[in-house]
Amino acid sequence: MSTDSLAELRRRIDEADLALLEALAARRRAVLAIADVKRRHGIAVIQPDRFLALVNDRIATGLSLGLSPAFVQTLFERIHEQAIADQLGVVCSEERASK
């Protein structure tokens, strides 16, 4: 393998990483919007049935893309942990502001 092809492969990884980060940022914006809706309507932040359905769907999609089910599950568990933290931040900041 030439260093040129290695550099090209690394460039492709860098592009994929940027796209991944942009997708995560877009997802976070949606999470924060959902948190606001949940706050206004008194809906619990944690929705276990929704998360289970989401993870099962993402595992199936990941499998179809050649990804390990364990990897996809771990990835989405971590993403979900952050989503909960972000949503709780919205709900708790509103509660502090109303006191």
Pair of tokens at residue 73: 């599950």
Computed over every residue of the chain, the mean pLDDT equals 93
The CATH number linked to 8 is 1.20.59.10
Are the CB atoms for 32 and 90 separated by under 8 Å? yes
Q: What is the structure's pLDDT at 2?
A: 79
**CB neighbourhood size of 83 (10 A):** 21
Helix, strand or coil for residue 68?
coil
Q: How confident is the model at residue 23 (pLDDT cuts 50, 70, 90)?
A: very high
What are the pLDDT digits (tens) for 48-71? 999 999 999 999 999 999 999 999
Average pLDDT over residues 35-53: 95
The number of distinct structural domains making up the chain is 1
8 CB-contact burial (10 Å; exposed 0-12 / middle 13-18 / buried 19+): exposed
Decide: 25 and 82 in contact? Cβ < 8 Å. no
Range of the domain at 34: 3-97
Q: Is pLDDT at 95 greater than 70 in this prediction?
A: no
pTM recorded for the entire structure:
0.86
Instruction: Answer yes or no: are the C-beta atoms of 14 and 66 closer than 8 Å.
Output: no
DSSP-derived letter for residue 5 is: H
1 compared with 35, residue with greater pLDDT: 35
Query: pLDDT at position 20, please?
Result: 98
